[in-house]
Amino acid sequence: MGSPLTVRPARVQDVARMARVLVRCWQETYRGLMPDAVLDDPGLPAARERFWTAALTDERYRENRAAVAEREGELIGVAMSGPPLDSPAPWARQLYVLYVLTAHHGTGAGEALLRAVIAATESAALWVADPNPRAQAFYRKHGFAADGTAQVADGVREIRMVREV
C-alpha cells in the first residue's frame, strides 16, 4: 500500500469501474445484512453503471460531487455527496456514497474521498448501516454523531449521523 493514492473527480469514463467497485464493496460490507439474491444479482453491475452514468451526466444531479480513489491505476473507492435528501434539513450536504475496497481500509482512501466530496467547513449528514461498527467509527472520527434517527432501506437498518460545523 506504499504506492501513492490519487483522488480526483469522477468522470463518465470511470462508470464501469465505479460500478464494479460499488458492487464488490456491497458484497464485502453487506453480506449477511442484505439478501444474497440482491448482492449476487447478475444485473446489479449494469444497474450500478446506469446509476453512475445518470449521476455524472444528468443535469438534475449537477450539484452532486463525485470522486474516485485510485492506487497504481486500480480504482479502489468511490464517493458522492449532494444536496440534503432529508427535508427540511439544517445541514449543507448529504453523503450519499462512500465505499473503499476492504483491502484498502485504513490506508487514508476513505478520508481523502470524504474530503473530496464534503468540505471540512460544511455541515453534513449520512445514513450508515447498523450494525457497521467500522464505518460508524470512521464517521465519528470525522465529526459525525448519530442523531437518534433510524430507517430501514433495502432491508438494511440504517442510522443517521450528522456533522455540525
Q: What is the CATH class of 5-163?
A: alpha beta
User: Model confidence over 27-59: pLDDT tens digits?
Assistant: 999 888 888 998 999 999 999 999 999 999 999
- Residue 1 pLDDT > 60, yes or no? no
Residue range 70-117, pLDDT digits in tens: 999 999 999 999 999 877 889 999 999 999 999 999 999 999 999 999
Give, in degrees to the nearest 5, the angle at Cα 100 between 137 and 84: 70
End-to-end CA distance of the chain: 32
pLDDT in tens, 113-138: 999 999 999 999 999 999 999 999 99
pTM of the predicted model as reported, rounded to 2 decimal places: 0.94
Give the integer Cα–Cα distance in Å for 97 and 105. Answer: 16
Q: Where are the domains of the chain?
A: 5-163
The single-letter code of the amino acid at 64 is N
Q: How far apart, in whole angstroms, are the C-alpha atoms of residue 146 and residue 160? A: 6
